[in-house]
Amino acid sequence: MASFHILVGAGDHAADPTVRSIAPADLADALKKGWDDFTAMPSHAVFLCVIYPAIGILVAALTLGYAFVPLLFPAAAGFALLGPFAALGLYELSRRREAGLEVSAVDAFEVLRSPSIGAIVALGLVLAVIFVVWMATANAIYTAYFGYGAPEAIGQFVHDLFFTRAGWSLILVGNAVGLVFAIGAYLISVVSFPLLLDREVGAVVAMLTSLRLVVRNPLTMALWGVIIAALLVIGTIPLFLGLAVVLPVLGHATWHLYRKAVVADQSPRADFRPPPAGRHHVADFPVSLFKRTED
């Protein structure tokens, strides 16, 4: 029975969420509201604390050899597949601010007490499997064109990639296959996690709702995907500093896009819960970044 609720939610007889028609103007408004949330609840320092250690680990791995170099771009692109799951805390912060509640950084961890946590984890595992399969596929594509040996140097790899027929074939085939993986992940997750935080609908219902939203609004949702990709690329240009702004703004904006695009009033609502008394989280560190009104 628990597994059944993880898949379809607690409301066994509730109607499926309704998806609305949306226009590019709704995307612009969602981004504006996402920016408003970010300026009211700045989390850039938190993202810097995550982004730069990750980059440091990557640089350290590169110094140990060049075997990982061919997978550098697939890994960077593939992490976007996990973005909807990674932004869970941002959805929760936007949800609370929209409801008029006081918000602090600690509240991002309230997702761990969500009634839908089982479905959230299940859907997160689906995205993780897609990421792992993508990495294995990217490695297989590279091996098909360049064999099993690691590049002798980064310069040699760049030369082979851009100045040989095999390199251009790798670029074209790799990007085409990567696009298929990206579209697949996008179809099932574009609003799934915000819906699971807001309503007890189950993982399957959430994925199908995302799919129905894209099918009903193909051009608008394709534009949203292009906007996400473009902003992520722009965020990486100034030494990845831009991601500390781009990532939270996109996370908050996704919540507002969900609110515009999906009506799930007939499904049980995930009520806000008071924080456990006497408990503190490691997330207390950036609380001072958020404005908080004292009674």
| pLDDT, averaged in runs of 10, over the chain (295 residues) | 51 74 97 94 64 58 65 82 89 92 84 90 95 94 89 83 93 95 95 94 93 97 95 81 86 96 78 58 43 43
Residues 6+ apart with CB under 8 A from 163: none
Distance CA 119, CA 210 (A): 15
Distance CA 181, CA 137 (A): 10
Q: Answer for the pair 27, 257: CB distance below 8 angstroms, yes or no.
A: yes
The single-letter code of the amino acid at 250 is: L
> DSSP label at 263?
E
> DSSP label at 272?
-
Q: Residue 218: its pLDDT value, please?
A: 97
DSSP 5-48: HHHH-S-TTPPPPEEPP--HHHHHHHHHHHHHHHHHS--HHHHH
Distance CA 30, CA 257 (A): 5
| pTM across the whole model | 0.82
